[in-house]
Structure 1
């Protein structure tokens, strides 16, 4: 439970005092900024289930309301929208946890760290250094995070999350090819609310959440929320039995809202996150030149090491385990003013990150690829928009502009002292990077007779990036200084489509959109200038057709979409083989590729106590024009030739890209009232994810991460007043062993293993 109250908008609607007594929501903060919901229930408690969508006001008079986000059923998109209650029930506490709830979505932690990469419908970027703009933009309360790692630790005190695939940027924020993840946090309330929850689970995992919200005066209100996480480490070292993976994170968020009149809304938000959590270490599955013997390890065991000489190089204790030492903080000011004919809005934001991250990249007890990374970055963004205000008018429009500026400095320290005879030294690569983006956008729609709506939008974006002062030092051997690099882009993108609403509970749409993402640089362990050659921008032409239907209102909802992507200059992480050195990751462009697939989402309320929901995604992709290094062939040759690296290039035209093809997720929930004024909820949930290849064309063997199925469950008992709740839950009940991502360092190829079964309980108290 997030702050013990994320489910209260549902519970308060189930009036325990009788069928005729109106009940107000006990958690009105689950709406969008500037609005407070009013939920009035006049149905019997056993027949009433009143979920409230973000920004939605619901009036119920004797009708059963089973489904949420009813306004979104009239939007021409294929977004998946998730309530705070569902996020709590599915134990979503990080952005990566969302992967198990979404169709055709991959969200992976890189090397077990706080670096997260996203792929929506196969569009994404495998960027460990995070010095490029992600193919999937993250927004928190409307603030764009061009550096995705900055959003870590923010998944608490939530109102909802929605994930929109496909090209975006014609209505707000920054243009992108893959889509966007919008995280909505709870806002200040006009009445006093507070809550505290405690979550205790296996492996000594503990999570504490709290919030307090209320008015300071007639026009000013506030909200303060926080969370703390400790424990939960489930990896152990077979050599000495020490364990790894404990969380150690704290976060705070404060919001101050001023509404001096009915037309003006001003919100100031500040947040701080301190993350000193340990990270999970990989499990080697192939070592083409092992330095020494490795112990036999179980699935939940791992190896790591840290030499005192290496720790002294970056100024940390030699006793630390693979872990983060990260600080994220920022503030934003959102203002809106109703002008009569339109609403003027402004979002100003400043975000910063200070990252100190030690990882055992080679996943062994040997010093052949240990790494420490220092990152100091900040970003300033400003968005202005003007949106038509007359909702009943057939003509709607919006225009706006967005600007962001990023300043970044990174250091990579590597320990190769036992990687002999190829290296045998400590090294450091450091650089600075500057970036700025300026875009303008406009969107129009007009509703014709018979509820046919034409819509279109356009975005122009200019992006400039510079990589400055990059140098690599091999301590005691040499210093390599590299030339500065720069890249810029200036392109248009947009959308055009038609939407038809023949009846109130059925909508269909078709749209064509073009996405754009600027180019950038590969900047990590650098030994030759060729590694720094800028990769080009990518563009994506997307065709999508879809429908949204409440076939039987409040009983059976079914939404679906089919898509085809024509992808040009896709930015792909591949491998550059440096002679007499070895393989190094490098971003390049695949000239042409394609992706296609379908998605289905459903909610079913067949009987009074039963609620079912689920989604299905199927996607395929292949390269049409693409030639690059064959990493599997390179690894095989090195393994049989004593670690000698030989380049083998393959034409992958017509080859499958390796993305997971099938994904499914669903929940079955049973709700009833064992006592007058109390509710019992029992639910099971499951998710399936297809196999994912580490290299193009791989269909079996070590370089394929197998498919897996996960099963979870929870039971909750609570009064209708929402004052408290008790929950017992379990995740990965079947104790499935699966891989969440994969990678390689020097001569080692490894998987990142999955978490084991967790059994836990939550208790929440609200006032």
Structure 2
């Protein structure tokens, strides 16, 4: 949604860059070293030839960040948000569209275990040590589905001393509260344990005036047990087990723009309906035997076993992971008060993975890291779409139906990789990584029309929904081939040569030259490639055999960077310039009526510059910030789906809705602002001999960006600033603290997702829904350590 503010982005952000990197005469404070695992070995941030952003667990807690979506606003060139049917993760303008068959362009790893489903980004943060955002292709060390980057999350482990904490937060205006309890310490001389549990509840910041309820109501409970066994100096074994559940009622969306025809239809259900981009909404789901409001419930169980074994001077690492994740939801997909379209999904995802790493000692002329990876996953996805068209004045009940669908996929991946580091001299290193991957997938899919709220097939309704309403087509894909039933006469065609299996192999890797110009300045040049696996379209509602599968997506990129320590260790600044070429980009675009067009765009390119820096001005004052310039666009995309305005013109000229295409060559990618930045200041003041105060201020900027994949400018987000602030009172020993956090202090209204309301051809053309971000809020925090 458009913001009222029009900041001069280039001048403002360049001024910030100068401010955070200019020396200020003072005492001689020192910055602490930041340790990361971006190279599969613990290393200092300034020693790693990778562009990455890091946020500590302390910062996450202080800002009251609950998930990756909350964190993304602090990271230039990073976008993580909930969309219409799933979650989206984008780095540098590259991400995955909304389709449950898509793999992710940004891989998420928690304690070394890969999480392949987009829903993982919704999981609440719990006892996080740090989050690393690696930008650019990372396939040599992290494997497939990291063509845009990787999110590397590390959680806390048991320490050598007993410790505990009770931490609570309260946001009274929106009924939001949470409480976390943690106990950690040694159980025996060789065994340590850490247990943490968190409960989080909220009433939400939206007001659904039609149903008289606040949204999004949420209840999250998550608990984790970590055991660490160290029987000798050569063996370290860690076991983690986590369980959690999440319940959601309502969504943060509303109809922001509506045609006169749509408004008149909506006002038959709610006379007070008026479209607006605001925190008020008028929405009801189908109801009857379903829910009359949006619901989304999920639960998960995660187990991970990590073994670090010293074999002389070598180290053997084993990471075994098991993830069992499921959710069920029922969402209003007409987005308004008429309550005539509702879609429910039940998903169960089970994944097992095993990785072995063998690393050589460091410091010699040649170092190496070799690995073997295996992953097996089962995905079961059942869906039902209730189309009660009579509630919208379409038919007298004779057209009401439910579309019953299923999608099952079994996937198996194995890969092997090696990375060699040649220390050519004391200050030059040459690093090469190579990975071979094999991905196999097999799927079954079915969709058919039935009588409302039943699973009984109705061929007459199926013919109407295919031929007249263009809503869906009965079909079935499996190992025997494909069957598609079309037309009013319900004529079925068989495609025995159709295959429901994919097998693709890839060689990927990267090559880096790293040069320590001085003891305080490191530079590097990195070239590499990567891929995102192909797959099968879960949302292929028209049963298009030729579009049942989509191909793998590939990238080749180059990055030039520098990392420097300045002013005797009291400041650091990192820079990276990058250019990446993407082939066969996977895209998913809403067709304006009922489904999404899924396929591979021809080419895309991203290039830009990123700068971040930190200055310890004094022992009491620290400044930090980041700045990113990004140019991301399609180099060739000649058959993209049309926007609704283009469809209207196309039909007026005698065309049909399914045949309308546009050329998006040269158009910008989604969620790719040209400029983005953040600036943070932290200041400590000693109040008494036993008390101190801590003041924090964060400013985040984003240039305008495209939201809809069809480039409909009605949904574009204009440039904006957001400001957070925090005041904390604590005792010197940090036994306890009290704090007040203010978020989005200027109450900026922004959007992260929007699209056309379905059934444009039935009177809803020119009508749009949008998701709205949280308004200004204040959070009280209390913490007690023991």
* TM-score range relative to shorter protein: 0.7 to 0.9
1:368: Cα distance to partner? Answer: 3.5
State which of 335, 350, 355 in structure 2 corresponds to 1:378: 350
Give the corresponding residue for 2:438: 462
Give the corresponding residue for 1:80: 53
Q: 1:428 aligned to 2:404?
A: yes
Paired positions, count: 694
Give the corresponding residue for 1:233: 204
State which of 220, 238, 241 in structure 2 corresponds to 1:267: 238
Give the corresponding residue for 2:112: 142
State which of 196, 206, 228 in structure 2 corresponds to 1:257: 228
1:49: Cα distance to partner? Answer: 7.1
Residues 504-550 of structure 1 show CA distances to partners (whole Å, capped at 9, x for unaligned) of: 21100001010111101221362323475211101100110010011
Residues 69-103 of structure 1 show CA distances to partners (whole Å, capped at 9, x for unaligned) of: 98110110111111112212332211111211111
1:278: Cα distance to partner? Answer: 2.4
Give the corresponding residue for 2:254: 283
Give the corresponding residue for 1:686: 699
Cα distance change on mapping 1:126 and 1:173 into 2, 3 Å: same
Residues 563-597 of structure 1 show CA distances to partners (whole Å, capped at 9, x for unaligned) of: 001111111112457xxxx3521321112121111
Give the corresponding residue for 1:107: 80
Distance 1:398 1:269 in 2: 25
SS in 1 for 2:140: coil
Residues 697-738 of structure 1 show CA distances to partners (whole Å, capped at 9, x for unaligned) of: 84x841312222111100011122121111011101111111
The answer as to whether partners of 1:175 and 1:461 remain within 8 angstroms in 2 is no
Distance 1:744 1:525 in 2: 18
Pairing of 1:160-309 with structure 2 (within 5 A): 160-172=130-142, 174=144, 176-201=146-171, 202-287=173-258, 290=262, 291-293=265-267, 295-296=273-274, 299-309=278-288
SS in 2 for 1:170: helix
Pairing of 1:264-413 with structure 2 (within 5 A): 264-287=235-258, 290=262, 291-293=265-267, 295-296=273-274, 299-311=278-290, 318=291, 321-388=293-360, 390-413=361-384
Distance 2:782 2:714 in 1: 43
Give the corresponding residue for 1:750: 769
The answer as to whether partners of 1:412 and 1:524 remain within 8 angstroms in 2 is no
Distance 1:192 1:173 in 2: 38
Distance 1:128 1:360 in 2: 17
Q: 1:665 aligned to 2:638?
A: no
Pairing of 1:517-528 with structure 2 (within 5 A): 517-524=532-539, 526-528=541-543
State which of 665, 668, 680 in structure 2 corresponds to 1:656: 668
The answer as to whether partners of 2:186 and 2:192 remain within 8 angstroms in 1 is yes
SS in 1 for 2:256: strand
1:179: Cα distance to partner? Answer: 1.1
Distance 1:644 1:625 in 2: 24
Distance 2:663 2:274 in 1: 38
Distance 1:142 1:531 in 2: 37
Distance 2:654 2:347 in 1: 36
1:606: Cα distance to partner? Answer: 2.2
Which deviates more from structure 2 when the two are superposed, residues 375-384 or residues 617-626?
617-626
Give the corresponding residue for 1:22: none
Distance 1:737 1:425 in 2: 38
- Output the TM-score relative to the length of structure 2: 0.84
Distance 2:546 2:66 in 1: 36
SS in 2 for 1:191: coil
The answer as to whether partners of 1:265 and 1:336 remain within 8 angstroms in 2 is yes
Q: What RMSD over aligned residues (CA atoms) do the two structures have, in Å?
A: 2.5
Is there any run of 5+ residues in structure 1 with no aligned partner, and where?
1-45, 57-68, 312-317
SS in 2 for 1:482: strand
State which of 522, 525, 550 in structure 1 corresponds to 2:565: 550
State which of 597, 605, 615 in structure 2 corresponds to 1:604: 615
SS in 2 for 1:737: coil
The answer as to whether partners of 2:285 and 2:341 remain within 8 angstroms in 1 is no
1:489: Cα distance to partner? Answer: 1.2
The answer as to whether partners of 1:522 and 1:531 remain within 8 angstroms in 2 is no
1:169: Cα distance to partner? Answer: 2.9
Which deviates more from structure 2 when the two are superposed, residues 170-179 or residues 517-526?
170-179
Distance 2:182 2:530 in 1: 39
The answer as to whether partners of 1:657 and 1:695 remain within 8 angstroms in 2 is no
Q: 1:592 aligned to 2:603?
A: yes
Is there any run of 5+ residues in structure 2 with no aligned partner, and where?
1-26, 452-456, 463-473, 479-499, 761-766
State which of 502, 509, 514 in structure 1 corresponds to 2:517: 502
The answer as to whether partners of 2:31 and 2:571 remain within 8 angstroms in 1 is no
Which deviates more from structure 2 when the two are superposed, residues 494-503 or residues 47-56?
47-56
Give the corresponding residue for 2:449: 473
Distance 1:234 1:481 in 2: 41
Cα distance change on mapping 1:642 and 1:762 into 2, 3 Å: farther
State which of 408, 411, 421 in structure 2 corresponds to 1:445: 421
Residues 14-54 of structure 1 show CA distances to partners (whole Å, capped at 9, x for unaligned) of: xxxxxxxxxxxxxxxxxxxxxxxxxxxxxxxx986775634
Residues 346-374 of structure 1 show CA distances to partners (whole Å, capped at 9, x for unaligned) of: 11111011201122222101234321111
Pairing of 1:111-122 with structure 2 (within 5 A): 111=84, 115-122=86-93
Cα distance change on mapping 1:639 and 1:732 into 2, 3 Å: farther
Residues 377-399 of structure 1 show CA distances to partners (whole Å, capped at 9, x for unaligned) of: 101111111011x2222321011
Distance 1:643 1:48 in 2: 69
1:639: Cα distance to partner? Answer: 10
The answer as to whether partners of 1:230 and 1:247 remain within 8 angstroms in 2 is yes
1:636: Cα distance to partner? Answer: 4.1
Which deviates more from structure 2 when the two are superposed, residues 353-362 or residues 509-518?
353-362
1:413: Cα distance to partner? Answer: 1.6
Distance 1:179 1:508 in 2: 20
Distance 1:397 1:244 in 2: 52
Structure 1 stretches of 4+ moved >6 Å: 46-50, 638-644
Give the corresponding residue for 2:34: 53
Give the corresponding residue for 1:32: none
Q: 1:618 aligned to 2:599?
A: no
Cα distance change on mapping 1:645 and 1:502 into 2, 3 Å: closer
Cα distance change on mapping 1:540 and 1:146 into 2, 3 Å: same
